[in-house]
Amino acid sequence: MPAEVITQEAGVRQLSYAEAIREGLGQAMEADPRVFLFGEDVGVYGGAFGVSGDLLRRFGPERVIDTPISELGLAGAAVGAALTGMRPVLEIQFSDFVTLAMEQIVNQAAKIRFMFGGKASVPMVVRLPGGSGTGAAAQHSQSLEAWFAHVPGLKVLQPSTPHDAKGLLLAAIDDPNPVLIFEHKLLYKTKGPVPAEAYREPIGKAVVRRSGRDITIVGASIMTLRAAAAAEKLAGEGIGTEIIDLRSLRPIDFATIAQSVRKTGRLLIVYEGVKTMGIGAEIAAMIAESDVFGALVAPIARLGGADSPIPYNPSLEKASVPQEDDILAAARRLMHKRKR
Amino acid sequence: MPAEVITQEAGVRQLSYAEAIREGLGQAMEADPRVFLFGEDVGVYGGAFGVSGDLLRRFGPERVIDTPISELGLAGAAVGAALTGMRPVLEIQFSDFVTLAMEQIVNQAAKIRFMFGGKASVPMVVRLPGGSGTGAAAQHSQSLEAWFAHVPGLKVLQPSTPHDAKGLLLAAIDDPNPVLIFEHKLLYKTKGPVPAEAYREPIGKAVVRRSGRDITIVGASIMTLRAAAAAEKLAGEGIGTEIIDLRSLRPIDFATIAQSVRKTGRLLIVYEGVKTMGIGAEIAAMIAESDVFGALVAPIARLGGADSPIPYNPSLEKASVPQEDDILAAARRLMHKRKR
Amino acid sequence: MQIPAADSATAAAVREKPALQRGELSALDDATLRAALRRMHLIRKFEEVAEQSYMRGLVHGTMHLSIGQEASAVGSTLHLRPDDYILSTHRGHGHCIAKGADPARMLAEFFGKETGYCRGRGGSMHIADLTTGNLGANGIVAGGLPIAVGVGMSIKAQKQSRVCMVFFGDGAANEGAFHESLNMAAIWKLPVVFLCENNKYGMSMDIANAMAVANVADRASAYGTRGITVDGNDLPAVAAAAKIAIDQARQGDGPTLLECKTYRLRGHSKSDRNLYRTKDEIEAWRQRDPIRRLQDELVAQQRIEARELAAIEQGAQHEIEEALEFAKSSADPDPAQLTRDVYAG
Amino acid sequence: MQIPAADSATAAAVREKPALQRGELSALDDATLRAALRRMHLIRKFEEVAEQSYMRGLVHGTMHLSIGQEASAVGSTLHLRPDDYILSTHRGHGHCIAKGADPARMLAEFFGKETGYCRGRGGSMHIADLTTGNLGANGIVAGGLPIAVGVGMSIKAQKQSRVCMVFFGDGAANEGAFHESLNMAAIWKLPVVFLCENNKYGMSMDIANAMAVANVADRASAYGTRGITVDGNDLPAVAAAAKIAIDQARQGDGPTLLECKTYRLRGHSKSDRNLYRTKDEIEAWRQRDPIRRLQDELVAQQRIEARELAAIEQGAQHEIEEALEFAKSSADPDPAQLTRDVYAG
Ligand SMILES: Cc1ncc(C[n+]2csc(CCOP(=O)(O)OP(=O)(O)O)c2C)c(N)n1
Ligand SMILES: Cc1ncc(C[n+]2csc(CCOP(=O)(O)OP(=O)(O)O)c2C)c(N)n1
Ligand SMILES: [Mg+2]
Ligand SMILES: [Mg+2]
């Protein structure tokens, strides 16, 4: 980790989300010769979003591997390496390109252990930069994580802070199963405290980012930041917001959500993926079919991406996914609703 | 249509689901020179499930086209043909193989019209035999339709009867948008009345298959048949079941569902795809965030596929997706539940 | 744009300077050459203006400039007919202008305006102009190749005499889509020209590391079809090679894999720090700038006078300046119409 | 299985019958040939029993028989070491037995039993036997090829001297996965043998319609690597060609695309009505049955006595009968354990 990227703020070491991931990758490679990073332009270029940075220089071209543009082949290569004793970490340059690799991820990685009667495991990690907000338009801005939450055999993470980006990555590399990590492009430059040592965050555990009595907002990735900003404003209006950061979409930490909703009676789920069939659908359904159902004092509200591809024009783009103001408005609406 | 496949029952012409699709394809090709069928083994073999049958003989190799095994390329070919004046119908031999074609379906077909500012359209149809129950194991038995319901720009159909299989296919071929039709392998041999003329069923409209006061069961494809069988037994127990056959997952006919649930106050959603993030999640969420929420007298119940790949062993395979008995049991449980 | 063989002016040119002029050049008449040169300038200036606008923060997103690759875009499309199709790439401004699009509406799209080709929905990576047969740029590497197969099938089924030219890069040639598309086009003898712009790099990976053959066109043999490699910075040479491929496609002889060896003088996109190549390499290619090369040859061969060159360049400059004004002054789309064009009908 | 070059018995055999025997045959010692023959019989009988069980309704699902392709499965793997890897296909029983799997546990899997290789979860299309380096059959055409790239990377990273052989069909050679995998294996010189069993058809499509080159191995040149085409019904020839490919892979010389031309005497799967080929064609290939061919040659060359042949066949027959008993009498899995092995750890 070059010294210049480590800044000090209030006595805690601050790293950007990208730096935290890089530090995690470096520590995993230092600790375990089985770990390697590969993908398009992860080497000399340092990664399309600069995540791998100097890793090539530090670990050499046998462990930080630039590849041809062959997403299906790369995903399969991760499967094969994982099956035979390695711990591959694959970067799919934009998560949109995972559409080319679905076969290997869904039919092979996710199913091999089960199909082989539990006699094999596929410990691979796929990192997928996703999300909108960069003006990259419809084929470079999608949030496709919900698809993978539908696939038994996979684990699916969506870290929102530099701390979690590193801790969840290290946990994913340790995990004996295929783990997909959806990183948000707009978060790469956001900073936060990151311990220097190699620590793990548990996969499948949500965290309560803010406590409140009146309304529960569940989100992940960048939406928890926008929700936090909205919660500040709601606090000014006397509304206590509890924010749950999912971190993991598969498995999903229903207990933490349930506990909060039991307390607040109101649930707003915010996500960037298309609203229909996005992760909010599953959370709403889990609540609606559970005991917590009776604790609701208002209908569940979902705020998700618009029913359209991501547009190029900046104002259209903003309008197509939940922004802080949308969250604020949705929370206010929900506070005025009652069960009929 | 060979004479032997047309049987007479109670004076109505009965066709199998496969025959109905074939008849629809034939009529579309007769009526419109822009329509053609292509895919792996759809020609001389007659299709892996015999759906295309004698179409090659009738329409010749320029309109019923056997192709190399190249799913991504085929999906792209459908896009290109649709963009330039044709009406391609592509068969993906097993829906599982659509994992290889996601890029073209999701990034191109679904988005081109929007990305081009509304100045193009992509009128293509993809037929996808799906579902379990044939002992074909994890890579040949999936129900992946929920993924596509998450993608704006696509339409997604799941016919349950020979009548709808033909009527929805013809509507899909007319539709100026990309339409995916998930056909169920176990349904191909089921028979039902099918009008001889070329008729259309509206895309996006559910149908009430059975009326009842006590409980609403929403399903699609083969699940509506299993639900109907369960409903017969429930009737014997004095429970009135209303069965809604979705037919279309995108767009989804929420009005028909809402109307029924308002009446019965109880909702059971049955689907073969993996429960988590399956189509039942969206339906439950739509109810939970709507006015209908207040009309529920019990929590919503979902019955979906197990959290596992589809296993090979027949009893395991049965155990992995909802069967008639499971629906019966779930309905009974729901009848005993009350909102707390 | 005329097909030189049928053109008497060309024949005259050939007669006049037989000893000096190579066949690729003499095959092109003066009007064609002037038009080609003007288009190369238009592309260059379009991209320079795009780059400046980007640097000044007037546009967001990213962009992929083809500065240095203009001969391949203009040369390959020179013998296409107006109703022939093209499918383009993320680095597609050149193809788009070469096929006849209006730079003003392109720039408007780049600025995200309602007057843009995609009404601001697509941006730089998705410009399409159906009126000139341009079926669109593509953000997915090799995304256009399978589509070209379908366009070829469509042309054949409708018994048209059109041709579809699909552009892609050297990096795209390692995608599975390349393989499936070349194979299908070959077995069905589709009227498709696979036009590979080999600019030596993907985003940062040198083609020498990304494939073990010297030329992308060497792969044609795997599909039993023709492969041609040409100096992609030499407009007459590109045009001559493309003419062969286009004619054969139109005559029902199936696809050609035509590779133009060229170089992008700018980085891959805005975030590129050029870590993967040397300044010397870039400089060496700058010496082979396709616009300057063509101009020098035309002057040396007395096909054009030096002062006329300046006029052509100024004309292009003027057109782009007007285009910029148009783009800037156009209205933004209305966010209320966000989901309007998701579905047809 | 020994590597003949290092084997004195072979040398002796070569000395004894130098004029009559071709090199591919003389390169194999008697023990190796007997073992190979036994395995071919095992495969044949395994599949015949599988077929009968299927016809009698004892098993459900589908199955893809390789009857007629035994020389390619056994010959190609003859010089693999026990710790070398294979990746197989939907038509994979032969590869599995050839690599040393126990037919009893394979049949148990076919019967969906808890004693099967996959505890009844996988069935015919997903048999894997990690103890013999068999990384699994695959239901996805060309699904194993990208995995082989990763296995090759893994072998290289761990500095092992293993080799990975990945099987696939002629139809699979048109999948994008083929292209991406061959390319990556070639540029990184991975220890992978790409073993194409070209049985002339995909499910029903004749390779002559599916690709415009005569041999799948012709495609090797597109990756700058070696391609070999061999008579896949000739066990010694297959073994000799595979030995070259295996040795080169092991020595760090990178991948070979080795094509065995063979034929499946049965239909593609249970639903096949053979509409796409003639009875005559099938009959002609029946005359080239790889087992009979090898037996005839061994007898003619006096490498084995006719009555010994019968003993080998009976031994195989007996083993498969016992395997069938084992499979039938094994217990079914417990449905309560359905989701137990979805996740590790
Ligand atoms: C499927 C896919 N993978 C990766 C990318 C990211 N990407 C965009 S352009 C590019 C390099 C493409 O190289 P090449 O095909 O040679 O075209 P060039 O940029 O050199 O014109 C990459 C990796 C993408 N857009 N699509
Ligand atoms: C990706 C994919 N597409 C299609 C199929 C259906 N399918 C199974 S086997 C087969 C034919 C394969 O042909 P080939 O590769 O030559 O192998 P063979 O069956 O001849 O051994 C097809 C089309 C599949 N299993 N996977
Ligand atoms: Mg390039
Ligand atoms: Mg074959």
When pLDDT is averaged across residues A92-120 and rounded to a whole number, the result is 98
Partner-chain contact B85 C158, CB within 8 Å: yes
C178 touching chain B per CB within 8 A: no
Q: Which pTM was predicted?
A: 0.96
Please say if A140 is a catalytic residue: yes
Which pLDDT score is estimated for D18?
Answer: 45
pLDDT for the residue D270: 83
Distances (CA, A) of C252 to A23, A61, B64, C245: 57, 47, 20, 11
Look at D205 and B306 and tell me if their CB atoms are within 8 Å.
Answer: no
* B329 touching D (Cβ < 8 Å): no
Mean pLDDT computed over every residue of chain A:
96
Q: What is the mean pLDDT of residues C112-141?
A: 98
**Is a pLDDT exceeding 90 seen at residue D13?**
no
Measured in angstroms, the CA of A162 and the nearest CA of chain D are apart by 26
pLDDT at D8: 41
pLDDT at residue B4 tops 80? no
Q: Indicate which residue of A23, A140, A201, A282 is catalytic.
A: A140
| Nearest to B181, CA basis, from B121, B69, B98 | B98
Q: How far is the C-alpha of B153 from the C-alpha of B174, rounded, in Å?
A: 16
What does the pLDDT read at residue B11? 60
Q: How far is the CA of C167 from the centre of ligand 1 (A)?
A: 12
Contact (CB<8Å) A67/C205: yes
Q: What is the spatial distance between Cα A111 and Cα A108, in angstroms, rounded to a whole number?
A: 5
Neighbours of D277 (CB within 10 A): 17
Report how far residue C273's alpha carbon sits from residue C295's, in angstroms, rounded to the nearest whole number. Answer: 31
Taking the C-alpha atoms of residue C147 and residue B77, their distance in angstroms, rounded to an integer, is 5
One-letter amino acid for residue D283 of the chain: E
Question: Least CB-CB distance to D332: which of B46, B137, B315?
Answer: B315
- In whole angstroms, what is the distance from residue A237 CA to residue A234 CA? 5
Nearest to A316 among C62, C126, C335 (CB): C335
What's the Rg (C-alpha) of chain A? 20
**Cβ distance of C139 and A314 shorter than 8 Å:** no
- Residue-wise pLDDT for B215-271, tens only, equals 999 999 999 999 999 999 999 999 999 999 999 999 999 999 999 999 999 999 999
In whole angstroms, what is the distance from residue B202 CA to residue B247 CA?
Answer: 10
Residue C172, ligand 1, Cβ within 6 A: yes
Mean pLDDT of C126-141: 98
Ligand 2 atom nearest D169 alpha carbon: 15
d(CA A85, CA D281): 46
Does C198 touch chain A if contact means CB atoms closer than 8 Å?
A: no
Angle value at C-alpha A305, between A304 and A309, nearest 5 degrees: 160
Partners of D196 in the beta sheet? D168, D259
> How far apart (Å, rounded) are the C-alpha atoms in residues C238 and C74?
9
pLDDT above 50 for D11: no
- Give the CA angle between residues B288, B293, B294 to the nearest 5°: 155
What SS3 class is residue A6? coil
E-assigned strands of chain D?
A: 85-87, 164-169, 192-198, 226-231, 256-261
Give the burial class of C302: count Cβ atoms within 10 A of its Cβ; 0-12 exposed, 13-18 middle, 19 or more buried. Answer: exposed
User: Which tokens hold the place of D277?
Assistant: 């080929």
Is A46–C176 a contact, with Cβ atoms under 8 angstroms apart?
no
Where do the DSSP E strands lie in C22-133? 85-87
pLDDT of residue A338: 74
Q: Phi-psi bin for B10: left (phi > 0), alpha (psi -120 to 50), beta? A: left
- State pLDDT tens for residues A156-206: 999 999 999 999 999 999 999 999 999 999 999 999 999 999 999 999 999
ipTM field: 0.96
Distance CA A246, CA A160 (A): 9
Please count the CA atoms within 13 angstroms of the CA of C10 that sit on its side-chain side.
17
Distance D158 CA to ligand 2 centre (A): 33
Among C181, C210, C215, which residue's Cα sits nearest to residue C198?
Answer: C215
Q: Report the C-alpha gap between C323 and C177 in whole angstroms.
A: 36
CA distance B309 to B183: 19
Q: A320-334, B6-20, D152-166: which has the minimum mean pLDDT?
A: B6-20
Q: Is A287 exposed, middle or buried (0-12, 13-18, 19+ CB in 10 A)?
A: buried
> Domains in chain A, please, with CATH?
15-193 (3.40.50.970), 207-335 (3.40.50.920)
Cα A7–chain centre separation? 25
Ligand 1: atom nearest CA of C268 is: 19
Averaged pLDDT for residues C202-216: 98
For residue B113, give the chain A residue with the closest CA.
A309
Q: Is A2 left (phi over 0), alpha (psi -120 to 50) or beta?
A: beta
Q: Residue A280's pLDDT is what? A: 98
Nearest to C224 among D180, D209, D213 (CB): D213
Tally C–D CB contacts below 8 A: 72
Question: With bands split at pLDDT 50, 70 and 90, how would you rate the model's confidence at D5?
Answer: very low
Taking the centre of ligand 4 as the mean of its atom positions, its distance from the CA of residue D120, in whole angstroms, is: 27
Q: d(Cα B41, Cα B39) in Å, to the nearest integer?
A: 6
Tell whether the model's pLDDT for residue B142 goes beyond 60. Answer: yes
Helix, strand, or coil (residue C139): coil
User: In terms of CA atoms, which chain A residue is nearest residue B151?
Assistant: A274
Taking the C-alpha atoms of residue A199 and residue A195, their distance in angstroms, rounded to an integer, is 8
B296-340 pLDDT, tens digit each: 999 999 999 999 999 999 999 999 999 999 999 999 999 998 764
Cis amide linkage into residue B152, ω under 30° from 0: no
Q: Which residue(s) pair with B217 in the sheet?
A: B243, B268
CA distances from C67 to C53, C63, C289, D54 (A): 16, 12, 9, 64
Q: Measure in Å the smallest separation between the Cα of B316 and chain A Cα atoms.
A: 12
Instruction: Provide CB contacts within 8 A for A176, sequence distance 6+.
Output: A121, A123, D344, D345
Q: Which residues contact A95 (CB under 8 A, 6 or more apart)?
A: A128, A129, A130, A131, A142, A143, A144, A145, A182
Instruction: Please state the domain extents for chain D.
Output: 35-328
- Touching chains, C (3+ CB pairs < 8 A): A, B, D
What's the whole-number mean pLDDT along residues D115-143?
Answer: 98
| Mean pLDDT computed over A13-23 | 98
Distance, CA of C236 to CA of C32 (rounded, Å)? 11
Q: What is the mean pLDDT of chain D?
A: 94
Catalytic position from the list A19, A23, A40, A71:
A71
CA–CA distance, D173 with D150 (Å, rounded to integer): 19
- Using a 10 angstrom Cβ sphere, with 0-12 exposed, 13-18 middle and 19 or more buried, the burial of residue C205 is buried
* Complete DSSP assignment for D198-223: E-SBSSS-BHHHH-SSS-GGGGGGGG
Q: What is the pLDDT of residue D271?
A: 83
Phi, psi of D230 (to 5 degrees): -140, 155
Q: How far is residue A313's CA from residue A317's CA, in Å, rounded to a whole number? A: 6
D339: Cα separation from own chain's centroid:
31
The answer for residues whose C-beta is within 8 angstroms of residue D330's C-beta and 6 or more apart is: D108, D111, D113, D114, D115, D116
B139: left (phi over 0), alpha (psi -120 to 50) or beta: alpha
pLDDT score, position D19:
55
Closest CB to D176: pick one of C177, C224, C225: C177
Phi/psi class of residue B15: alpha, beta or left (left: φ > 0; alpha: ψ in -120 to 50)? beta
Furthest C-alpha separation in chain B: 64
CATH no. of D35-328: 3.40.50.970
CB atoms within 10 A of CB B324: 17
In the predicted structure, residue D93 carries a pLDDT above the cut 70? yes
The residues near D56 (Cβ < 8 Å, ≥ 6 apart) are: none
Query: Closest chain D residue to A72 measured between Cα atoms?
Result: D177
The set of residues, in sequence order, having a beta carbon less than 8 Å from that of A249 and lying 6+ positions away, is A145, A146, A148, A149, A156, A157, A158, A220, A279
The DSSP string of A179-215 is EEEEEEGGGTT-EEE--SS---PPTT--EEEE--SSE
Question: What's the rounded Cα separation, in Å, for the pair A101 and B272?
Answer: 24
For the sheet with C226-231, list strands across it.
C85-87, C164-169, C192-198, C256-261, C226-231
Asked if the model's pLDDT at residue A3 lies above 60, the reply is no
Q: How far apart are the first and last CA of chain A?
A: 57
Which-ligand-closest: CA of D66? 2
Per residue in D288-340, pLDDT tens?
Answer: 999 999 999 999 999 999 999 999 999 999 999 999 999 999 999 999 999 99
pLDDT at site C19? 55
Torsion of CA B105, B107, B108, B114, to 10 degrees: 120
Q: What is the pLDDT of residue A11?
A: 61
Neighbours of D12 (CB within 10 A): 11
Q: Considering only A182-196, C100-114, C246-260, D54-68, which range has the smallest mean pLDDT?
A: D54-68
Nearest CA to ligand 2 atom 20: D202
Distance of alpha carbon D295 from alpha carbon D238, whole angstroms? 15
C68 close to ligand 1 (CB < 6 Angstrom): no
Distance from CA of A93 to the nearest CA of C (A): 11
- Phi/psi of residue C144, nearest 5 degrees: -80, -20
Residue of the nearest CA to atom 5 in ligand 1?
A: C141
Share of chain B above pLDDT 90, in %: 95
What does the pLDDT read at residue D20?
A: 73
